[in-house]
Chains A and B, each alone.
Chain A
Amino acid sequence: MMTQKTDICNKSSREAAKIAQKANLFKGQQKKIVCAYFKGKRVMRPLKNTMQMDVDPAMGIHLAEKIIVDILSRLPVRSLLRFKCVSKFWKTLISDPYFKMKHLIHARNNQNSQKLLISQFYLGMDHSFSFYCSSLLVKDVQKLDCPLNIEQVILRIFCCYDGLSIVGVGDCSSEEFKFFLWNPSTRESIELPVPELLPRKGYCTWGLGYDLVMTIRSLRLIRKYTVKF
Chain B
Amino acid sequence: MASSTTGEKKILTLKGGDNEEFILEESLVLQSELLKNMVKEERVSSIPLPSIKSKTLVKIIEYLKKHAELTPSNKEEFKNFEKEFVNVVLEELLDITVAVNYLKINGLLEFCCQAVADRIKDKSVEAVRKIFRIESDFTPEEESEFRKETPEAFEGDLDDTTN
Contacts and interface: CB of A to CB of B under 8 A. Distances in A.
Interface of A: 1, 5, 8, 38-39, 41-48, 50-51, 53, 55, 57-64, 66-68, 70-72, 74-76, 78-79, 81-90, 186-187
A42 B44 contact: yes
User: Lowest 7 A-B CB distances belong to which pairs?
Assistant: A81-B153, A74-B117, A60-B132, A46-B48, A85-B146, A60-B134, A51-B51
Interface in B35-68: 38, 41-48, 50-52
Contacts of A5: 41-42
A39 B3 contact: yes
A84 B146 contact: yes
B143 to A, nearest CB: 5
B25 interface: no
B129 A86 contact: yes
Interface residues of B, number: 53
B113 A50 contact: no
Nearest to B154: A82
Contacts of A42: 42-45
Given A41-B44, A81-B153, A71 B136 contact: no
12 contacts: A43-B44, A44-B46, A50-B51, A51-B51, A60-B133, A66-B101, A71-B113, A78-B152, A79-B123, A85-B136, A86-B129, A89-B137
Contacts of B50: 46-48, 50
B45 A63 contact: no
A76 B121 contact: yes
B114 interface: yes
B119 to A, nearest CB: 10
Nearest to B158: A82
A47 B154 CA distance: 43
Contact of A58 (B48, B137, B147, B150): B137
Nearest to A8: B42
Contacts of B88: none
Contacts of B137: 57-58, 87-89
Contacts of A59: 134
A58 B113 contact: no
